[in-house]
Amino acid sequence: MEPVLYITVPCYNEEEVLPETSRRLSEKLEGLISAGRISENSRVLFVNDGSSDGTWDIIAKLHSENRLIDGIGLSRNRGHQNALLAGISESAKRADAIISMDADLQDDINAVDKMLDKFSEGCEVVYGVRSSREKDSGFKRGTARLFYKFMSMMGAEMVYDHADYRLLSKRAAEALEGFGEVNLFLRGIIPLIGFKSDKVYYERGERFAGKSKYPLKKMIAFALDGITSFSVKPLRIICGVGCLMAIISLGFLIKAIVDHYTGNAEIGWPSLMCSIWFIGGVQTICIGVIGEYIGKIYGETKHRPRFIIDKKLIHHDDSSE
Ligand code: UDP
Ligand code: MG
């Protein structure tokens, strides 16, 4: 029996790209179905992440015209990661393998074939990894590189240059649901699932229409989430900085005593001002970092649902509408 493949795509205000994306994806599925590689019950599942434009109407239209297209709509905008999780969880009910990708098809959809090869070799997690970032803007490339470097320095295990383009087996997707955290950072969680995994490489293209839904502000929030959800190293660094400062101030004390006895003591208000501001700044930063973690704990203890599905458009396996 060929596996049932679901390609799940989070969409936030993607009306400009959806018709083309769905055309290319259903072409891809049809090709794979007629080649006998996947079951004809395979689908594309669009997740509308509370878009404020006509995204849902387009999904509904595509669903009514094409038996390969399904859609679910979240009750409001919950962000990329939650939308992805919603798509993966919904797909896992019917699929043997689930591939997630962005609506703008920046990720080369031909890597799907290679992912399926790995899946048939028994891999349960297949990471799509960018072979180059030439098509990204210099700024995006630079910040992304910095982000991965920083994450690995902070001790979070991540696959370099892998975004959220990946294949999960049904078993891996179900295991993912066991990670109950509200602060979702899938790139950090997936490696923790374990199972046999592999990587496939692809060229990343440009967004063919519409604007990026990840402005700098969202990117920084995402990076902060990633760090504080996966590492307590910042807290440890704070302790280290504290110790270092204590040692430095001890040095100053010794110098002051020596100066006093050698008669070199100065009226030192500039140095005093500097140190007060410095210590004050460091303390405030430290409190801020601790506050970030407390904020995380606060979010997690409430166990709020990570997404709420409002609407569903699902073709049943034997329907041909
Ligand atoms: N996205 C989403 N919810 C959001 C923001 C983005 O579902 O709140 C989706 C978006 O529709 C796209 C994917 O996340 O499918 C990645 O966004 P985008 O391509 O704009 O990010 P970039 O490639 O610029 O990092
Ligand atoms: Mg994109």
**16 C-beta closer than 6 A to ligand 1:** no
Which range marks the domain in which residue 275 is found? 233-302
**Same domain for 309 and 286:** no
**49 C-beta closer than 6 A to ligand 1:** yes
Atom of ligand 1 lying closest to residue 47 CA? 7
**Same domain for 249 and 151:** no
Provide the pLDDT for residue 135: 66
Within a domain: residue 254? yes
Look at the chain and report how many structural domains it folds into: 2
Within a domain: residue 195? yes
Within a domain: residue 321? no
Within a domain: residue 268? yes
Cα–Cα dist 204/163, whole Å: 11
**Same domain for 141 and 94:** yes
Q: Which ligand is nearest to the CA of 9?
A: 1
**8 C-beta closer than 6 A to ligand 1:** no
Compute, in angstroms, the gap from residue 274 CA to the centroid of ligand 2. Answer: 45
Within a domain: residue 159? yes
**11 C-beta closer than 6 A to ligand 1:** yes
**Same domain for 252 and 199:** no
- Edge-to-edge, what's the strand order for the sheet holding 309-313? 197-203, 125-132, 162-169, 97-100, 5-11, 43-48, 69-74, 309-313
Compute, in angstroms, the gap from residue 198 CA to the centroid of ligand 2. Answer: 23
**43 C-beta closer than 6 A to ligand 1:** no
**104 C-beta closer than 6 A to ligand 1:** yes
**Same domain for 110 and 52:** yes
Provide the pLDDT for residue 318: 52
Instruction: Enumerate residues with CB within 5 Å of ligand 2 (an ion).
Output: 102, 104, 106
**Same domain for 287 and 180:** no
Per-residue pLDDT of the chain (321 residues; tens, 9 = 90+): 899 999 999 999 999 999 999 999 999 999 999 999 999 999 999 999 999 999 999 999 999 999 999 999 999 999 999 999 999 999 999 999 999 999 988 889 999 999 999 999 999 999 999 887 666 677 777 887 888 888 778 777 788 888 899 999 999 999 998 888 888 888 888 988 889 999 999 988 887 888 877 777 887 888 788 778 877 788 888 888 888 887 888 888 888 788 878 877 677 766 777 788 888 888 888 888 888 888 888 778 878 888 989 888 888 765 433
Compute, in angstroms, the gap from residue 47 CA to the centroid of ligand 2. Answer: 15
**Same domain for 255 and 186:** no
**Same domain for 190 and 119:** yes
**107 C-beta closer than 6 A to ligand 1:** no
Within a domain: residue 320? no
Q: Which residues contact 176 (CB under 8 A, 6 or more apart)?
A: 85, 88, 89, 168, 186, 189, 190, 193
Atom of ligand 1 lying closest to residue 9 CA? 15
**83 C-beta closer than 6 A to ligand 1:** yes
Provide the pLDDT for residue 317: 62
Q: Whose CA is nearest to atom 23 of ligand 1?
A: 212
**Same domain for 195 and 130:** yes
**Same domain for 256 and 203:** no
Find the CATH number of the domain harbouring 182. Answer: 3.90.550.10
CA neighbor of 8 nearest in space, from 213, 173, 222: 173
Atom of ligand 1 lying closest to residue 103 CA? 15
Provide the pLDDT for residue 188: 84
- Residue 160 in tokens: 């370099």
Q: Whose CA is nearest to atom 2 of ligand 1?
A: 80
Max Cα separation, the chain? Answer: 96
**106 C-beta closer than 6 A to ligand 1:** yes
The one-letter amino acid code at 185 reads: F
Within a domain: residue 114? yes
**Same domain for 205 and 105:** yes
Within a domain: residue 221? no
**Same domain for 290 and 280:** yes
Compute, in angstroms, the gap from residue 11 CA to the centroid of ligand 1. Answer: 7
Compute, in angstroms, the gap from residue 211 CA to the centroid of ligand 2. Answer: 8
Compute, in angstroms, the gap from residue 12 CA to the centroid of ligand 1. Answer: 6
Compute, in angstroms, the gap from residue 163 CA to the centroid of ligand 1. Answer: 11
